[in-house]
């Protein structure tokens, strides 16, 4: 490539976010993909996660760039700026050479499906079909509805989210399948779409069709599926059946479903709390995750990942909001969520460099966000303009031994309480 691909990837992700919900443009992009021998739905698969962009080989990265360029006329992603003539000329041949003959495409038809409700269906399926669907990039791991991800470095300033996998569990499942002693278990898939009917079902014939442009994520059984993938890579002739549960849930319902189930590979309690989102304070944090300057900066786990740019944890924010604001109804939840969205908008904007710094200091310490919640409460109660927030924070002595003691306290809840109390006692100061 002529330039660093990380630069191009960042631009492509921005453009994908702008066009992925425009059906007309997506159709044009799909037409370009077909010209290069890539299956229908490839772009939809790529658009679900920036990880898919990072993992493309050069030929497929060119096709994506070319398709986005000619459908958006965005010269910032002109393929001729990033790819050599040789790479462009060889793209189609390379894709043809590396494309599997076993690639599945939507629509997919399943028979003997029992309908439990408009949102729930069950059947049995050959594990080989599930493996083919996964390898055809039809089934993806949705980090919004699953365990919190691990992060791997990608380039100098970016990272890739990867599922947290128990390798021993996958190996055991694979070996049991190969030995013929694996008892059929259930894989749960979520089939949904915001733009088209995701499925069609014929009650008389019990045939269910997963329609073109539907999105398929795995809600439960990712380790089982990975075990099957490994087993079939060793023995493609393996016979193994599985039970298949098909759900047609929106994102919030899918999160609640995952939060209520228990699997062999126990989900971290912090992540379960986030997925269930039962308290008003939890729902406020979910709003901050989606709509504020903290988007992408709130960790689901008990610790933050600095490499991913995370600043604090879901549990820290929820705990502090519950203790400081104590929302008791929907109206209070909405008002507090909006206020905190504005509050953190000002805070992050005033201290851009401090919150971008990957080195933990006391101003960006994860537990300090319990303190920021208390500061927000003071500003709200006293009707202090948020444009005075910088003046307030500038006057905080982050070298104060009492504050340091609170933030460094090893017992999590005691640390949060001490930090909240510190700023509660500090009051308004000179704002």
Residue carrying structure tokens 């992603």: 77
Identify which of 227, 255, 252 has the alpha carbon closest to the alpha carbon of residue 242: 227
Query: pLDDT at position 264, please?
Result: 47
Residue 281 tokens, joined: 């304070």
By the 8 A CB rule, do 75 and 65 touch? no
Residue 74 tokens, joined: 């965005």
Q: Which residues contact 35 (CB under 8 A, 6 or more apart)?
A: none
* Inter-CA distances, 289 with 251, 318, 372, Å: 14, 12, 16
Query: pLDDT at position 207, please?
Result: 96
Q: Which residues contact 44 (CB under 8 A, 6 or more apart)?
A: 20, 26, 213, 215
Identify which of 15, 238, 38, 23 has the alpha carbon closest to the alpha carbon of residue 131: 238
Give the residue ranges of the chain where pLDDT is below 50: 263-264
HEC string for the chain: CCCCHHHHHHHHHHHHHHHCCCHHHHHHHHHHHHHCCCCCCHHHHHHCCHHHHHCCCHHHHHHHHHHHHHHHCCHHHCHHHCCCHHHHHHHHHHHHHHCCCCCCCCCEEECCCEEEECCEEEEEEEHHHHHHHHHCCCEECCCCCCCCCEEEEECCCEEEEECCCCHHHHHHHHHHHHCCCCCCCEEEEEEECCCCCCEEEECCCCEEEECCCCEEEEEECHHHHHHHHHHHHHCCCCCCEEEEEEECCCHHHHHHHHHHCCCCCCCCHHHHHHHHCCCHHHHHHHHHHHHCCCCCCEECCCCCCHHHCCCEEHHHHHHHHHHHCCCCCHHHHHHHHHHHHHHHHHHHHHCHHHHHCCCCCCCCCCCHHHHHHHHHHHHHHCCCCHHHHHHHHHCCCCCCHHHHHHHHCCCHHHHHHHHHHHHHHHCCCCC
Residue carrying structure tokens 């309690």: 269
Q: What is the rounded CA–CA span in Å between residue 300 and residue 292?
A: 16
Q: What is the rounded CA–CA span in Å between residue 412 and residue 409?
A: 7
Q: What is the rounded CA–CA span in Å between residue 47 and residue 16?
A: 6
């Amino acid at each position: 490539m002529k330039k660093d691909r990380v630069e191009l990837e960042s631009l492509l992700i921005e453009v994908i976010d702008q066009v992925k919900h425009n059906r007309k443009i997506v159709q044009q992009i799909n037409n370009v993909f077909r010209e290069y021998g890539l299956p229908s739905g490839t772009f939809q698969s790529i658009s679900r996660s920036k990880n898919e962009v990072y993992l493309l080989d050069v030929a497929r990265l060119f096709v994506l760039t070319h398709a986005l360029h000619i459908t958006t006329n965005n010269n910032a992603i002109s393929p001729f700026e990033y790819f050599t003539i040789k790479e462009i000329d060889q793209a189609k041949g390379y894709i043809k050479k590396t494309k599997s003959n076993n690639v599945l495409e939507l629509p997919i038809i399943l028979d003997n499906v029992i309908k439990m409700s408009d949102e729930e269906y069950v059947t049995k399926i050959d594990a080989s079909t599930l493996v083919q669907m996964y390898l055809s990039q039809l089934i993806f791991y949705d980090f919004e509805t699953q365990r919190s991800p691990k992060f791997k470095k990608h380039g100098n300033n970016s990272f890739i989210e990867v599922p947290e996998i128990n390798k021993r569990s996958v190996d055991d499942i694979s070996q049991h399948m190969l030995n013929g002693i694996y008892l059929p278990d259930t894989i749960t898939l979520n089939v949904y779409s915001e733009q088209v009917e995701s499925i069609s079902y014929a009650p008389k014939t019990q045939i269910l069709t997963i329609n073109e442009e539907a999105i398929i994520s795995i809600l439960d059984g990712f380790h089982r599926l990975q075990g099957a993938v490994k087993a079939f890579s060793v023995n493609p002739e393996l016979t193994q059946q599985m039970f298949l549960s098909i759900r047609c849930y929106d994102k919030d319902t899918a999160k609640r479903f995952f939060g209520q189930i228990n699997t062999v590979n126990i989900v971290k309690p912090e992540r379960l709390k986030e997925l269930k989102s039962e308290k008003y304070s939890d729902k406020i944090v979910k709003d901050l995750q989606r709509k504020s300057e903290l988007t992408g900066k709130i960790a689901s786990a008990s610790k933050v990942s600095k490499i991913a740019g995370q600043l604090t944890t879901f549990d820290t924010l929820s705990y502090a909001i519950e203790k400081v604001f104590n929302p008791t109804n929907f109206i209070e939840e909405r008002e507090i969520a909006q206020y905190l969205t504005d509050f953190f908008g000002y805070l992050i904007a005033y201290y851009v460099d401090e919150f971008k710094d990957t080195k933990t200091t006391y101003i960006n310490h994860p537990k300090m966000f319990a303190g920021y919640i208390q500061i927000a409460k003071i500003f709200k109660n006293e009707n202090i303009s948020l444009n005075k927030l910088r003046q307030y924070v500038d006057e905080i002595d982050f070298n104060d031994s009492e504050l340091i003691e609170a933030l460094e306290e090893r017992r999590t809840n005691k640390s949060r309480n001490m930090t909240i109390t510190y700023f509660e006692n500090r009051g308004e100061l000179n704002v």
